Amino acid sequence: MNPNRDSSIRKTLVEAIGTFILVFCGTGAIVINDASGGAITHVGIALTFGLVVLSLIYAFGHISGCHLNPAVSIGLSISGRFPIALLIPYIAGQCVGALAASLLIRWMFPDHPTLGATLPSSGAWQSFVLEFVLTWILMLVILGIQSGPKQNETLGGVVIGAVIGLEAMFAGPISGASMNPARSLAPAMISSHLENLWVYLIAPVLGSAFAVCIHWILQSPTDPITDPIRSHGATTP
């Protein structure tokens, strides 16, 4: 087998496995919170998303970059930090992993109405703006870590996990704080809640692309460009 092809398959498989774990733990926390009468709490759900991302970055970041998020993969590709040839395989792997997680949660909790789908609490456009800004912030942090001093990479997983937990903490009650098309697509499809899915497919991608533009403006010509495949920090709930 071609070594490059073998490497691409391995990276894609890691993205699928990582996204499965992210969606299973994150949306699973939402479903279990509902099933247990609020035992986990909103704070617990936010911490679950942040902690699982932190763990996955250190477990798999050295293999695939641990994107776990189509919006992040697209943003890194636009920025020139991720090979465009891997973009479609990564997105496919992320979506397959997320769908597998939602299918398993459906099997375990067949009566749950949403399976942790992200749904606007009021207007769709309010959640659209919120998801745009949340993803913009997340992507700026990721790009900043990759462009900063080498020691930033060591703490990259902690910082990104903290940002995801923070954003889920304050924005979750309004938009669900997805920042991740794959995370929103899977439970929406399996639970048949597709009415506002467009918000969570489009806003994160636009927010990620906007972050790349802002980063280009802020970046010094002397800033290093970290190898995106081996760098920590490329994921979301």
pLDDT single digits (tens) 87-102: 999 999 999 999 999 9
Q: Residue 100 is part of which domain span?
A: 3-218
Question: How many domains does the chain contain in total?
Answer: 1
| 232 occurs within a structural domain | no
CB contact set of 208 (below 8 Å; sequence gap of 6+): 71, 72, 74, 75, 78, 135, 136, 139
| 229 occurs within a structural domain | no
- CATH number of the domain where residue 40 is located: 1.20.1080.10
CB contact set of 205 (below 8 Å; sequence gap of 6+): 70, 71, 74, 135, 181
pTM for this one? 0.91
d(CA 178, CA 160): 14
CA 199 to chain centre: 15
| 173 occurs within a structural domain | yes
| 127 occurs within a structural domain | yes
**Six-digit token pair at 105?**
């949660």
Contact 109, 29 (CB under 8 A): no
- In tens, the pLDDT along 144-200 reads 998 876 666 788 999 999 999 999 999 999 999 999 999 999 999 999 999 999 999
| 134 occurs within a structural domain | yes
| 231 occurs within a structural domain | no
| 110 occurs within a structural domain | yes
d(CA 172, CA 180): 13
